[in-house]
A and B are shown apart, each in its own frame.
Chain A
Amino acid sequence: MKNKIVSVQEAVSHINDGCSIMIGGFLGCGTSELMMDAIVEKGVKDLTIIGNDTAYVGVGAGKLICAKQVKHVIATHIGTNKETGNQMTSGETEVTLVPQGSLAEKIRAAGMGLGAVITPTGVGTDVAIGKETMTIDGREYLVEPPVRADVAILKGSIVDKAGNVYYEGTSKNFQEVMAMAADTVIVEAEKLVEVGELDPNYVMTPAILVDYIIVGGDK
C-alpha cells in the first residue's frame, strides 16, 4: 500500500502561487486549520479559493484572506469575514458569489464528469448574467458550468491509513464533493486509525480519492 501519510511541510509543497484550492468547511467547521496555517507560513500568493465562505477573521479560509494571499474567492457568503468585504470593495480580491446549492452541484458536476448543472436557482437574478438558459417542460433553468480545482484541502473526523474518510456532524458540508473535483486531495485526519478500524459502512469519501493525509487533531 502506498504511504499517503505526509508531514504538513510536504503537503503544503503542493500549494504554489496561482493555485486554485477547494477548502472544505462551513464557517470553519470541517476546515483543516493545520493546512491554513502552513499556507500562510509558506506565503504563496494569487490563490483562487473555492468554498462555502471565508469563515471569520483568523479562522479557516479567513486566515488566507487576512494574509492577502487570495486573488479570487468563489463562495456563497462572505458576510462573516469583514476583511473579505474590505478587499472586495478595494478591488484587491475578486469575489464571485454563487448560490450555495449551485456551488455544491457545480463542484459535484466536475467530480462526477458532467458537463454542466441545469438548475432553476438564480433564474431572473444577477447570477444569470452571461449564462445560457434552457427551457425544459415550460420551466426556465440556468446552465451552470462545473468547477474544478488544483487541490482540495479537507478535514476528516476519522481517517484510516488508506485514506477512507468519515466526517462527523455538520463537518461533511462540501467535503465529499470536493474530494472528487480536485487533481490533488489532501486530508487532515483529526483521528488517524489503522486500515480495517473504520467500518466500511461509515466511509463517506473512498480512499482512492485521497492523495495525502496529514495528522492533526488530538495530538
Chain B
Amino acid sequence: MASAKEIIAYRVAQDLKDGDVINLGIGLPTMVANYIPEGVEVTIQSENGILGMDRVANEGEELKDVINSGGQPVLITPGACFFDSSMSFGIIRGGHVDVTVLGALQVDEKGNLASHVVPGKMVPGMGGAMDLVVGAKEVIIATTHTQKGVAKILKEITLPATAVKCVDKIVTELCVIQVTDAGLELTEIAPGVTVEEVQAQTEATLIVSGDLKTMAVPAE
C-alpha cells in the first residue's frame, strides 16, 4: 500500500495542467514530480535560478555548478535556462509561477500558513517560502493531516505566519480541502475514510461540499 506521503504527492500531481510552471518545496512536495500524469508536461522552477529542472543527478552525471535549492546536484531538461536570484524571484513574485507546492507546520481556515519557524526550536529561516506563497498563482499545501496525532489544520495558526491568506488548497492523505471565503471546504475524501474521521483530526470546522468526491489515490 502507498504511504501517506505517496498518496499526497500523487493527488497533488493530478491537479497539474499541461504547460504549468511549478515550484516544489523541499521534502514531500519534491515527490510530486514522480506522479505527473501522462500527457502533462510541466516546467519545474528551482528558486536558486533554474527553469526546466530535472531529477537529482546520480554520482558521475553531475553538471558543473548546477544544484537545486536544497543544494543537491540536479539535471536539467532540454530548453532549460538559468538566471540570477533577482530574476528568479521576479518570476515568483510577479505571478509567473502557476503552482507552488509546500509543506506546512500549521494552516488555518483563513488560508494563513505557518511553515518556516518554531520559535526557540527550529529557526532555519524562510528561504524563498514567503515570496513563493505570496507570488504563485496557486498555493497548494501538501502535508500529512496531523503531526503525530496533533492537528495541523486549525481555526487559527499559533506559530509565526509565513504569509497570511495565501493558501488555496490543502492536500493530505485523508482528504482535499479548498480554502474559500466561507472557510475550509472538504471537497474530496480518501477511499474508506469518513467525514467524521477527517473532522475529528481537524481543529477547524470543515464545510462538507455538496459535491463531495472520492480522492484519487495511486493504483496498488
Name the CB-closest residue of A to B50. Answer: A170
Bin chain B's interface residue count: 35 or more
Contact A169 B86 (CB under 8 A): no
Q: Check A212 for interface membership: any CB of B closer than 8 A.
A: no
* Contact between chains at B123 and A169 (CB < 8 Å): no
Distance A140 CA – B134 CA, assembled complex (angstroms): 12
Cα distance A180–B127 in the bound complex, in angstroms: 22
Beta-carbon contact of B160 and A126 below 8 Å: yes
Q: Which of A88, A121, A124 contacts B161 (CB 8 A)?
A: A124
**A170–B131 touching, CB < 8 Å:** no
Residue of B nearest to A173 (CB): B85
When the two chains form their complex, are residues B125 and A170 in contact, meaning their CB atoms are under 8 A apart? no
Contact yes or no, B82 A169, CB < 8 A: yes
A43 within 8 A of partner (CB): no
Contact of A125 with B67 in the complex, beta carbons under 8 Å: no
Minimum CB distance partner of B129 in chain A? A99
Q: Which residue on A lies nearest to B131, using beta carbons?
A: A101
The answer for the CA separation of A123 and B47 in the assembled complex, in Å, is 20
How many A-B residue contacts, CB cutoff 8 Å? Answer: 143
Which residues of chain A are within 8 angstroms of B49 by Cβ–Cβ distance? 26, 169-170, 172-173
Closest beta carbon of chain A to B85's beta carbon, Å = 4
Interface flag for A27 (CB, 8 Å): yes
Contact pattern, B 65-95, Cβ under 8 Å of A = 1, otherwise 0: 1110101000000000011111011101100
In the assembled complex, the Cα of A101 lies from the Cα of B90 at a distance in Å of 8
Q: How far is A105 from B128 in the complex, measured between Cα atoms in Å?
A: 13
- CB–CB A172/B83 < 8 A: yes
Given A77-B124, A125-B160, A170-B48, A102-B86 contact (CB < 8 Å): no
User: Of B50, B67, B129, B131, which contacts A27 at CB under 8 A?
Assistant: B67
Determine whether B63 belongs to the interface, using a CB cutoff of 8 Å to chain A. yes
CB-CB under 8 A from A171, the residues of chain B are 65
Q: B163 to A102, Cβ gap below 8 A?
A: no
Q: State whether A77 and B163 are in contact (beta carbons under 8 Å apart), knowing that A27-B67, A170-B50, A174-B84 are contacts in the complex.
A: no
Least Cβ–Cβ distance between A74 and chain B, in angstroms: 11
**Contact assessment for B67 and A29 in the assembled complex, using a CB-CB cutoff below 8 Å:** yes
What residues on A are CB-neighbors of B83 within 8 Å?
172
Assess the B123–A52 pair: CB atoms within 8 A. no
Among B66, B134, B162, the one with the most A-chain Cβ atoms within 10 Å of its Cβ is B134
| Known interface pairs A102-B131, A157-B65, A173-B49; A79-B86 also in contact (CB < 8 Å) | no
> What's the least CB distance linking B214 to chain A, in Å?
36
CB-defined contacts of A204 to chain B, threshold 8 Å: 84
Q: A211 at interface (Cβ–Cβ under 8 A)?
A: no
On whether the beta carbons of B84 and A79 are closer than 8 Å, the reply is no
Q: Is the CB of A169 within 8 A of B65?
A: yes
Is B63 a contact partner of A169 (Cβ separation < 8 A)? yes
CB of B82 within 8 A of CB of A170, answer yes
Whether the pair A78, B125 counts as a contact (CB closer than 8 A) is: yes
A30-B48 Cα distance, complex, nearest whole Å: 11
Q: Write out the residue numbers on chain A whose beta carbons fall within 8 Å of the beta carbon of B50.
A: 170
Q: Mark B152-168, 1 if CB is under 8 A from A, else 0.
A: 00000000111111000
In contact, B89 and A105 (Cβ under 8 angstroms): yes
Chain A residues near B90 (CB-CB < 8 A): 101
Residues of B within 8 A of A (CB): 46-50, 63-67, 69, 71, 82-86, 88-90, 92-93, 112, 123-131, 134-135, 160-165
What are 13 residue pairs bridging A and B, where the CB atoms are less than 8 Å apart in the complex?
A: A30-B65, A79-B124, A85-B123, A99-B126, A100-B47, A101-B130, A101-B131, A120-B135, A123-B134, A157-B64, A170-B46, A170-B65, A173-B48
**Other contacts beyond A29-B65, A124-B165: 12, CB < 8 A:** A26-B71, A27-B71, A78-B124, A121-B130, A121-B131, A121-B134, A123-B134, A125-B163, A127-B126, A157-B64, A172-B82, A173-B84
Q: Which 3 A-B pairs have the closest CB atoms?
A: A79-B124, A101-B89, A101-B131
